[in-house]
Every structure is written in structure tokens, then in C-alpha cells.
Amino acid sequence: MGRTPKFRLTLLDGITGRPIADELYDNKSPETIKTFLEAHLDPTKQTFVVTDLYSSYPGVFGKFFGENLIHPLCLLHLNKLIVGDFPKHGTVEQELMKYRMLNIFYNRDAEIEILEGMVKEEQIMILKGDVKYVAWLKSNMSIFKQFVHECELKRRRDDENLKQRPFFGAVKEFAKLMVEIDSFEAFVQKRLRMIKKNWKHLTEFYFMEDAPATNNSIENYYSTSLKTHRKKQLRTERGIKNQMKLSAMKRAGVLGTCEKTLLEAFLMFMPFLDTG
């Protein structure tokens, strides 16, 4: 929101998908997170909560809930961090390394098989000079990205998700990488050590029936409650709060009926309006 960023903290019910709390704050400090939790959750009850990999969450949640906490970390956010570690226009060898890391929790064997063949050819092309190598790299990476895109389209047509590895499959893939860790680039080593440090939280979902491995429900909730095509409305705190309230009204079934005007419906949410 312009030069004064706001931080949105949201709790969704894992069963119904409905919001328990949805608030804006000036910061996302441990104290702010603690205050938010105290206002909406009971630390004496066992709680299962999936979050992104924000560094403060494990400590704050652990202190608040103690032994009553089951706290998986979102695999989707882990994968986003992994992708973000690598250059957008890197070498085939770097692309292979990226997919080997993405392969820990999700089956990316098909992509890896193609990249392994390309890496062998890459070593030969590098010897032929920059001009030929750059042209080869651009062409082959374009072909690979098209392959990845076609795989995504097929999964959508078949209404399928990426195949998730079973627990021991994930252990096996991670162990392979850790054996080779000293030969990897520094940023890869750093990410692998982060995964090792958070392994318990990244794998907790395996040990609970039907537990989610991601917090996609939050992502979907945000995407529907803050439409990006209304960016001008979201540049101020009032604008973003109003959009959040309108979304809440839609979920409550207040909008879309002939009995109430938009103004009447909005006034029903007056207790939540900022009078300042």
C-alpha cells in the first residue's frame, strides 16, 4: 500500500475454510503475531496450523501453544523459496539442481531425466565458445520450459496435482542431496541446511491423516478477497479494509440479493468499520 506497507494476518478454519480472523497490522513482529494469536486462539487446546516459512513463526507459535502445537510448514512456500534462489536465466546445470531440490517432496523425475541429458550436452557446447553455447542454451531451455508447461496443462486437464512423495521417498531424495552438499553452490548449501533445520515441521503433515501439506487455502482466500485488478483501491489502508469487508459480506450471502441495497448491506458491518 504505497510507502506505508500493511501486514495481513489471517486464520482460516481448516475444515470449513471460513476465516476465524482477518486483520491488518503495521508490522509482523513476534509481539504482533503473539497479540493476534492471543485474541483468537486458545493455547490450552491442541492446534494444527500450517504457515509459510516466515522465520518468527516457529518460535512464536511454540511459545504460545507449547506442547499443544502441531505446526507443519507449507511445502508450496518452500518450493517458491527454492525457485527464487536460482537465477531466471541460469545454466542447465543450475536448472537441474533446482529440480533436484523441488524433487524432495514432489515427483519431478520426468524433468530431471531431460535435464540430465541436457547437462551432458551443455559441457560439450561450452567448449565451442560463448556464441554457440548461448544460442544452444536459449534454444534448449525454451524447449524444456515448453515441456514443463505441457506437463502442467496435462495435469489440469486430468484434474491432477503434482504427485507427492511418500515420507520415506522424501527422506531418500533429501539424503542424496545432503551427501553431495559440499559440492554445491553456497546458496544451495544454505537452502539445504534450512530444510534440514526445519525438517520436523516440513514433514509433520505426513503423520496426520488427511493433513494438508500447504496453506493453499490461505492463498486462495487472499486471491478472492483482494482482486489485483482493483489495485488503485488497495493503495490505502481504508481501501484495503473496505475490500476485505466487501469480500466478507459476499461470503456471508449479504450481497447478491434484491432485498438489500449495497449501502444497507455495508451498514450491517458497521461494527467493523474504522471510525477514524
pLDDT band at 258 (very low <50, low <70, confident <90, very high): very low
pLDDT band at 247 (very low <50, low <70, confident <90, very high): low
Instruction: Give the model's pLDDT for residue 180.
Output: 97
CA distance linking residue 206 with residue 95, whole number of Å: 28
56 pLDDT higher than 50: yes
Q: What is the DSSP letter of 232?
A: G
Q: What percent of the chain has pLDDT over 70?
A: 80
Interacting residues of 23 by C-beta distance below 8 A, sequence separation 6+: 8, 9, 10, 36
Query: Domain coordinates of the chain in residue numbers?
Result: 1-73+198-225, 85-192, 231-276
Judged by DSSP in three states, 91 sits in: coil
Q: Which helix (H) or strand (E) holds 66?
A: none
Q: Do residues 205 and 211 lie in contact, with contact meaning Cβ atoms separated by under 8 Å?
A: yes
- Burial letters 100-121, b for 16+ CB under 10 A, else e: bbbbbbbebeebbebbeebbee
Interacting residues of 199 by C-beta distance below 8 A, sequence separation 6+: 174
Instruction: Give the model's pLDDT for residue 274.
Output: 46
Instruction: Give the model's pLDDT for residue 215.
Output: 83
Q: Do residues 40 and 11 lie in contact, with contact meaning Cβ atoms separated by under 8 Å?
A: yes
Taking residues 27-38, what's their average pLDDT?
93
Q: What is the DSSP letter of 120?
A: H
127 pLDDT higher than 80: yes
157 pLDDT higher than 90: yes
The closest alpha carbon to 39, from 11, 77, 3, 67, belongs to 11
Beta bridge partners of 9: 23
Per-residue cell: 114: 531431460
30 pLDDT higher than 80: yes
Taking residues 57-69, what's their average pLDDT?
93
Interacting residues of 41 by C-beta distance below 8 A, sequence separation 6+: 11, 20, 47, 64
pLDDT tens digit string along 177-210? 999 999 999 999 999 999 999 999 999 999 988 8
Place of cell 506437463: 151
Rounded to two decimals, the pTM is 0.78
Q: Do residues 200 and 236 lie in contact, with contact meaning Cβ atoms separated by under 8 Å?
A: no
